[in-house]
Amino acid sequence: MRVVEIAPSLDYRTIETLYDALDDDLDGPVLFDARHLRWVDPNGMVGLLAAARVVGDRTGAPVRISFPENADVSSYLTRMGFLTAAAQVYDMPATKGRRSDRASDVLLEITPVHTNSDVHAVIERVQTRAGRVLTRNLGYSAAAVVQFSVVLSEVCQNIIEHAEAPGWVAAQSYNWTKRLGRQVVVIAVSDLGRGFKGSLTDEHSGRFGDRWGDVTALEAAFIHGLTRFPDSGRGQGIQQIRKQVGRWGGLLSIRSGTARIADTPDWSEMPPVEEGLTHFPGAQINIILPERLSDG
């Protein structure tokens, strides 16, 4: 059995360690060893789900996972619904998939997104929690809570309209006392579909010629607002998300294929463009919204 070692910290900054570990030589049964995991955010959790599906599809063999030895991390994974979701992609006992019955402080548990009805269910589930977290903890206005629901709906809708494949979404609020000195909300979305290059190729690759690739496709959608639809009135979700996250001083990054593009606020050290990354199918979207320092 091949073993994939999971880094002690798995979040939006370190998620590449997971993708890099999925080399093309993996075959037969694979074990994801997360025993030493000490910190994980929504990006790390949906990444572990997506990676298991990728390995399972590639090898056709069982994919197993060793859960963290740290009790706090295991408890957090339970509250986030990770064990329930993991039971769908890992070879593991059914009892591991039980959710915790205790009251949850989670903004949005890991939720599979397959259809439009899933998107509506996500919004209904998160509205009350979002209103409480955004207004009380992050200082957002009531109007901003509505816009947050719109952003969340758009990133979920992106899975259905562009990926044409299942995906997951999760969100949680954290106190980044040391890192930023403020509360934040982290939203992670991952799908295993065609990715931005695959989605835009038919409509736009010809105009870019030899420059067409993952970076160019991300720039086309992220910066220029190009979509897979021939009429300009459709598929503007990414542009709307980008504008709204920018108004809130947040971070938005999208990884697809071998590239990542990002709008980076002053508090982030993430580069605006990265290329030559380990190939990973579909698209992974990361949004971080910081506590407001003034009304807005």
Q: Which domain holds residue 42?
A: 1-101
112 in Cβ contact with 81 (< 8 Å): no
My answer on whether 90 and 126 are in the same domain is: no
Cα–Cα distances (Å) from 229 to 189, 270, 281, in that order, read: 22, 30, 21
This prediction has a pTM of 0.92
Side-chain-side CA neighbours of 253 within 13 Å: the count stands at 23
Domain boundary among 101, 121, 139: 101
Tens digit of pLDDT for each residue in 103-138?
456 899 999 999 989 999 999 989 888 988 999 999
Quote the CA–CA distance of 140 and 91 in Å, as a whole number. Answer: 42
My answer on whether 90 and 109 are in the same domain is: no
Domain CATH for 207: 3.30.565.10
Tens digit of pLDDT for each residue in 243-257?
999 999 999 999 999
Domain total in the chain: 2
Tens digit of pLDDT for each residue in 202-236?
888 988 999 999 999 999 999 888 877 655 544 45
My answer on whether 63 and 209 are in the same domain is: no
My answer on whether 30 and 73 are in the same domain is: yes
My answer on whether 291 and 173 are in the same domain is: yes
Quote the CA–CA distance of 230 and 215 in Å, as a whole number. Answer: 21
